[in-house]
Amino acid sequence: MSRIGRKPIPLPGGVKVQIGERLEVTGPKGRLMVPIPGGIRVEQADGKLEIRRDSDQHAALHGLTRALAANAVQGVSAGFTRELDIVGIGYRADVKGKVATFTLGYSHPIEFLLPDGIDLKIDKQTHLVLSGFDRQLLGQVAANIRALRKPDPYKNKGIRYTGETLRKKVGKTGASGGK
């Protein structure tokens, strides 16, 4: 039996669940849908969600469905955050409404449109805090922002996740030429 799949998901107050062809989770932050694959059943009892499987053929989908459902429940109740840091002289970000503007050493500023459900706060022009209720969308937006200027292993400049460690590479050495 899947260890992740058999763990019950506690439902916090204010979270409503509708079980059908899809699992619909509604809470104070928003509404998410989780697909339920064939051979997997979702049961609600005593303020908890339990994910069950019909046979061992569905073992891989068992843990996956439970993880997606747990992320949906946590997302609509508490939400998720992702933090990024901008490193480099003259590199900075600014946000106005749903448009984030990045100055990253290119000849032009880059405008990034934030999707619905994702909020961006900027501290000191170089620390970004993304927040939202959909974990998958939040991670994708963070990866897209990081891709605007990936961390450079030679100069340690670029956009990186907070706490991400970079291995600094050694560049070319001087004129010790070979013959």
Q: How confident is the model at residue 176 (pLDDT cuts 50, 70, 90)?
A: low
Tell the residue number behind the tokens 């998410």, with chain if given. 32
**What pLDDT shows up at residue 142?**
92
Domain ranges in the chain with CATH number 3.90.930.12: 9-77, 80-161
Provide the CATH number for the domain formed by 9-77 in this structure.
Answer: 3.90.930.12
In the predicted structure, residue 145 carries a pLDDT above the cut 60: yes
First to last CA, the chain: 65
Are 83 and 72 spatial neighbours (Cβ–Cβ below 8 Å)? no
DSSP state of 150: P
Query: Which class does domain 80-161 fall in?
Result: alpha beta
Output helix, strand, coil percentages for the chain, rounded to the nearest 5. 20, 35, 45
Whether residue 134 contacts residue 99, with contact meaning beta carbons closer than 8 Å, is answered with no
Q: What is the pLDDT of residues 5-34, one digit of tens each?
A: 888 888 888 888 888 888 899 889 889 998
Closest CA to 148 of 104, 90, 91, 92: 104
- For the stretch 63-84, pLDDT in tens is 889 899 999 999 998 889 999 9
**C-alpha dist (Å) from residue 63 to 3, 19, 33, 55:** 8, 18, 17, 13
174 — pLDDT class (breaks 50, 70, 90): low
Q: What is the pTM of this model?
A: 0.83
Look at residue 178 and tell me whether its pLDDT is greater than 60.
no
